[in-house]
Every structure is written in structure tokens, then in C-alpha cells.
Amino acid sequence: MMDELAVLDRGRVVASGTPAQLRAAEGGELRLELSLPPEGEDPSELLGELPVRFARRARTGHRVLLTLAASDAARAVAWATALRTADRIEGYALSPITLEDAYLAATAEGGAAPSREEPAHA
């Protein structure tokens, strides 16, 4: 069992705490992961289409990770299901926030999500 973790970014500690504290610091309660088709457009970039407010968005290759409040889960799943039905995504998964999400949040410059050109922190 781990007592405490430290997240390093460019040799500097940017976050520390227990795994539960790091996950809670992300601010969202759930993670919606969208799997994009090759050369697929990221539907989370189209603000007019978003059914809920996502606390954070990070794209790594063909994966888009979105954090959201548990109270928005039903609307987010309905949106992802509609995207899948329309073949705009290959699939999706809804799960609790992970340490990967906490790491991405802590290491993103200025709190911004990585762009398509920026290498993913994973």
C-alpha cells in the first residue's frame, strides 16, 4: 500500500498526496473515455455539441479523456451512445477518476489540455 505519491514535471514536484487525494484534486468524479476512429474528429472539441460541462479534457492519440461530475453521467453516456451509433467514435467507457487523470491534470502546462501536437503524459 502506498502512503504518498509525488508527481514530477520537468524535475519539479507539481502535486503530492495519497492516491485518493490526488484523484480527488482532479475536481471531477468520473472519467469518460472516447475511442476515436483513425483520422476521426474529436467531438468534445465542438462546444455546441457537448451535453454537459467537462471539468477537464485531454487527448492522447485516438483517446479522449473527459472528467465530469457523477450527476452528469446519464447525459454523458447518452451523448457517447449517440456518437457511437453515428460511427463518430469507435467506443467509450465510463469509470472513476484514475491516477492517470490526476497526473495529466498536474502536468498539463497552465492547466490546459494537451493539444494534438503535444506528446501525451502517460
HEC sequence for 16-53: EECHHHHHHHCCCCEEEEEECCCCCCCHHHCHHHCCCC
Window from 6-15, 68-77, 93-102, 104-113 with minimum mean pLDDT: 104-113
Torsion-angle region of 11 (φ positive above 0: left; ψ -120 to 50: alpha; else: beta): left
Q: pLDDT tens across 39-87, in order?
A: 888 998 887 778 888 888 888 889 999 989 889 999 999 999 999 999 9
pTM of the model: 0.68
